[in-house]
């Protein structure tokens, strides 16, 4: 469904002389940090990092995160300005994917390893403050932005317990939020960094069904994820 919406909006906006916009094509370095809260023996607000290693591998030890290096595609409407250099933007991020193995995920009476794949499309909007070219380098002048981004995400999460043949799928449509910085140069190069950030310091959550992890806990196990990405792209102004 999201792919259809993206395609229809793209056709409409490409063909429109009313809206000025740009297509950003580039390369991204993306990853998620993983945590759990309310694990056995913890306080209600205590968090514990979950180590990661390569998805669907034979790894037994892991570091903090698994990075994804992949092409990046996004679409932006020209921002409108509320007052002075304070603006508001809309954008679409198309087809992001994170793959990793969560190591020693704590359940009530055991720890397990889980292979997780997260695919998502995201509709973004939010305020920002710009320094420099308010047209975001469309006029061949550089600009720098910092802002807050609200997002509506469509996610498909595939997961399986390591050494189990059972695979499970979660489909979610949920809001997220984050902060971003963006440097647009006069030569159409764009440098963008984003960090998922919720008001209480937490990230997004994956809520597993208890039976899929053979959990004896009374509540559904949750894995907290915090998204980071850095993207270098070329702006095509339309």
Q: In whole angstroms, give the CA distance from residue 113 to residue 145.
A: 40
pLDDT given at position 20: 47
Domain boundaries, the chain: 2-237
Q: In whole angstroms, give the CA distance from residue 227 to residue 194.
A: 8
pLDDT given at position 88: 93
Yes or no: say if 173 and 190 are a contact pair by the CB < 8 Å rule.
Answer: no
Q: What are phi and psi of 213, to 5 degrees?
A: -105, 5
Q: In whole angstroms, give the CA distance from residue 71 to residue 90.
A: 21
Predicted model pTM:
0.81
pLDDT given at position 15: 42
> Bridge-partner residues for 189, per DSSP?
234
**What CATH topology corresponds to 2-237?**
Porin (2.40.160)
Q: In whole angstroms, give the CA distance from residue 74 to residue 61.
A: 35
Yes or no: say if 1 and 225 are a contact pair by the CB < 8 Å rule.
Answer: no
pLDDT given at position 202: 60
Q: Give the number of other CB atoms < 10 A from CB of residue 95.
A: 15
pLDDT given at position 112: 87
Q: What b/e sequence results for 52-73 when a residue is b if at least 16 CB atoms lie within 10 Å of its CB, and e otherwise?
A: bbebeeeeeebeebbbbeeebb
Q: In whole angstroms, give the CA distance from residue 233 to residue 235.
A: 7
Yes or no: say if 189 and 234 are a contact pair by the CB < 8 Å rule.
Answer: yes
pLDDT given at position 57: 86
pLDDT given at position 36: 84
**200 to each of 45, 112, 177, how far by Cα in Å?**
10, 28, 11
pLDDT given at position 163: 83
Query: Which stretch of DSSP H or E encloses residue 13?
Result: helix 2-14
pLDDT tens across the length of the chain (238 residues): 554 455 445 544 544 444 547 889 999 998 888 888 665 444 455 578 889 998 988 887 767 678 888 888 888 888 889 999 999 998 888 777 889 999 988 877 788 899 999 988 888 999 999 999 998 888 889 999 999 999 888 889 999 998 888 899 988 887 888 999 999 999 999 999 999 876 555 667 888 887 788 766 667 788 888 889 899 999 988 7
């Amino acid at each position: 469904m999201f792919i259809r919406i993206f395609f229809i909006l793209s056709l409409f906006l490409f063909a429109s002389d009313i809206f000025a916009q740009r297509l950003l094509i580039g390369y991204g370095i993306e990853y998620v940090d993983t945590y759990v809260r309310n694990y056995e023996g913890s306080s209600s607000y205590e968090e514990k990092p979950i180590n990661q290693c390569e998805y669907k591998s034979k790894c037994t030890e892991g570091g903090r995160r698994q990075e994804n290096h992949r092409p990046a595609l996004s679409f932006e409407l020209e921002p409108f300005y509320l007052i002075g250099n304070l603006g508001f933007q809309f954008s679409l991020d198309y087809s992001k994917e994170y793959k990793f193995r969560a190591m020693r995920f704590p359940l009530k009476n055991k720890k397990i390893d889980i292979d997780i794949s997260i695919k998502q499309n995201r509709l973004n909007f939010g305020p920002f403050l710009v320094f420099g070219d308010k047209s975001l380098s469309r006029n061949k002048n550089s600009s720098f932005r910092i802002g807050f981004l609200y997002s509506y995400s469509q996610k498909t999460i595939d997961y399986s317990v390591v050494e189990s043949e059972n695979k499970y799928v979660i489909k979610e449509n949920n809001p997220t939020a984050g902060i971003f910085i963006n440097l647009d140069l006069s030569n159409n190069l764009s440098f963008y960094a984003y960090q998922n950030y919720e008001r209480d310091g937490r990230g997004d959550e994956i809520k597993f069904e208890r039976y899929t992890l053979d959990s004896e806990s009374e509540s559904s196990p949750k894995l907290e994820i915090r998204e980071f990405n850095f993207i270098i792209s070329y702006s095509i102004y339309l």
